């Protein structure tokens, strides 16, 4: 048996996050939170933490690192950490930049701050308008192996409207497939042995 890391980006979201939390039941996950959304919905961020999931940093705003200066990026990440800490009482240990794009400056900032970068090895492409729960589950679990990191989203702030509903509907199938493969979901990237996966 080996672990598969379930990760969710872009939240919290007043509809998507509760639906995803319900669908996860007892399965642990990592939530990469966006600071501006945490400030709008602090109780939801706190609910994620209280449910025992890993709280991680996705920035304060959902900006591509290549489009901001190093100084602006540093300020963005500081604001994101502050917002997450105020809402959850936790300091993130993991960091994933929006779009999975690291600049050299972004990697330096992450290392100096002590955050472990976690990208992904599987994705459900659940942000698309023309997809289905079945397709999300198929893509997320194709050739699944121990140490894989699955990218999903519990919010539609930066993607197709209502996409979080399809993600929540896909989760039972994803969890079933993880079990069928003799694996288990984990909210610990280090436990799965996968800290720097990418597409």
**9 flagged as catalytic:** yes
Angstrom distance (rounded) from CA 193 to CA 74 = 28
For residue 143, tell me if it sits in a domain: yes
For residue 92, tell me if it sits in a domain: yes
Strand partners, 32: 9, 56
**153 flagged as catalytic:** yes
Q: The domain spanning residue 177 has which CATH number? A: 3.20.20.370
Containing structural domain, residue 41: 3-192
For residue 93, tell me if it sits in a domain: yes
Angstrom distance (rounded) from CA 168 to CA 23 = 6
For residue 199, tell me if it sits in a domain: no
22-75 confidence digits (pLDDT tens) = 999 999 999 999 999 999 999 999 999 999 999 999 999 998 888 888 888 989
For residue 63, tell me if it sits in a domain: yes
Residue from 41, 53, 62, 153 carrying the catalytic annotation: 153
Number of domains, the chain: 1
Angstrom distance (rounded) from CA 182 to CA 184 = 7
Per-residue pLDDT of the chain (199 residues; tens, 9 = 90+): 799 999 999 999 999 999 999 999 999 999 999 999 999 999 999 999 999 999 999 999 998 888 888 888 989 999 999 999 999 999 999 999 999 999 998 999 999 999 999 999 999 999 999 999 999 999 999 999 999 999 999 999 999 999 999 999 999 999 999 999 999 999 876 544 444 433 3
């Amino acid at each position: 048996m080996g672990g598969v890391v379930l990760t969710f980006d872009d939240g919290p979201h007043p509809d998507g996050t509760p639906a995803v939390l319900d669908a996860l039941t007892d399965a642990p996950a990592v939530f990469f939170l966006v600071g501006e959304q945490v400030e709008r919905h602090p109780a939801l961020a706190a609910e994620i933490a209280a449910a025992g999931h890993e709280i991680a940093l996705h920035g304060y705003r959902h900006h591509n690192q290549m489009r901001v200066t190093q100084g602006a990026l540093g300020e963005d990440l500081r604001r994101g950490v502050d917002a997450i800490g105020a809402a959850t009482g936790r300091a993130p240990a993991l960091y994933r930049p929006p779009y999975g794009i690291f600049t050299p400056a972004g990697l330096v900032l992450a290392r100096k701050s002590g955050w472990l970068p976690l990208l992904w090895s599987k994705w459900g492409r659940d942000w698309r308008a023309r997809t289905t729960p079945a397709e999300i589950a198929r893509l997320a679990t194709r050739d699944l192996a121990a140490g894989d990191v699955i990218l999903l989203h519990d919010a539609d702030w930066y993607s197709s409207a209502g996409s979080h509903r399809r993600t929540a509907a896909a989760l039972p199938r994803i969890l079933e497939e993880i079990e069928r493969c003799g694996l288990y979901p984990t909210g610990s990237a280090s436990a799965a042995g996968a800290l720097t996966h990418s597409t």
